[in-house]
A = this chain, B = another copy of it.
Amino acid sequence: MNGQDLTLEPMVRKLELWGEISPAGRAAILALPYTLREIPAHGYVVREGDRPTHSCLLRSGYAFRQKLVASGERQILAVQVRGDLIDLQNSLLRHADHTVQALTRIEAAFMPRDAIVDLAFSRPEIGKLMWFDTLVEASIAREWLTNVGRRDAYTRIAHLLCEFALRLEKAGLGDRGRYELPMTQDQLADATGLTSVHVNRTLRAMDEAGFISRDKRAVTINDWAALADAGDFNDEYLHFR
């Protein structure tokens, strides 16, 4: 047929970061059943404790994963961008162990988890890439753990800015020299285990030192090599081909 539905095309593009997909595989992905939903900024995609029946593809906008601790503070665990598969994690686990929330207004395609799992095992070609994708997410989580556990504030923030630069570039949302980062300093603080006050001071220091420039929510990295060095950043953990 000609007028094929391309709603899930970003999922194909995302998985193709990890390996090649045959035309038949591509068609199988595009044929997945889905429901399109729009969620406003701050709206929930999944809540901790839910027993999710669907996984979703982030078609536009930004989302983040988070957990709350007893003191009421929040840890941001990951930031997801266009094309990211949210909750392949939860396609197998029984209940969500963390919350996923919209950072901006988002458009997401919700796919029944059974359909996803069936596809994964009926087409190992696709299944391997989906598994791969969850492994890369885990790799990023380990890098964040390292970042928060053993790097000082300056290095930590520089590292995060470098990661966003590359991931947004891969998602076609800017290049590593300049991109939009729709996160408040409060959210950056929760992602790095710092306070917003200290994030503010650190960003200013990086700005004054000439590493970056800021304009609204746009970040310009003036000297990639220098920032990557300051941020102890090595992109191996992102597992790009």
Contacts and interface: CB of A to CB of B under 8 A. Distances in A.
A121 B138 CA distance: 21
Interface string A141-177: 1111110111100010000000000000000000000
Contacts of A98: 142
Contact of A124 (B89, B95, B121, B193): B121
Contact of A70 (B71, B155, B236): B155
A127 interface: yes
A67 interface: yes
Given A70-B155, A134-B138, A77 B146 contact: yes
Interface string A111-155: 000000100110010011001101111110111111011110001
A94 interface: yes
Contacts of A117: 128
- A contact face: mostly helix, strand, loop, or mixed: helix
A149 B146 contact: no
B239 A93 contact: yes
Given A135-B93, A232-B70, A236-B97, A148 B151 contact: no
A49 interface: yes
Contact of A239 (B73, B94, B151): B94
B134 A134 contact: yes
A1 interface: no
Kindly list the 7 A-B residue pairs having the minimum CB-CB distance in the complex, ordered from nearest. Answer: A149-B193, A138-B138, A121-B124, A70-B232, A75-B146, A75-B149, A97-B237
Interface of A: 49, 65, 67, 69-71, 73-75, 77, 89, 92-95, 97-98, 117, 120-121, 124, 127-128, 131-132, 134-139, 141-146, 148-151, 155, 190, 192-193, 232, 236-237, 239
Given A65-B142, A97-B237, A150-B190, 9 more contacts: A69-B151, A75-B146, A75-B150, A89-B139, A94-B239, A97-B239, A120-B131, A145-B148, A149-B193
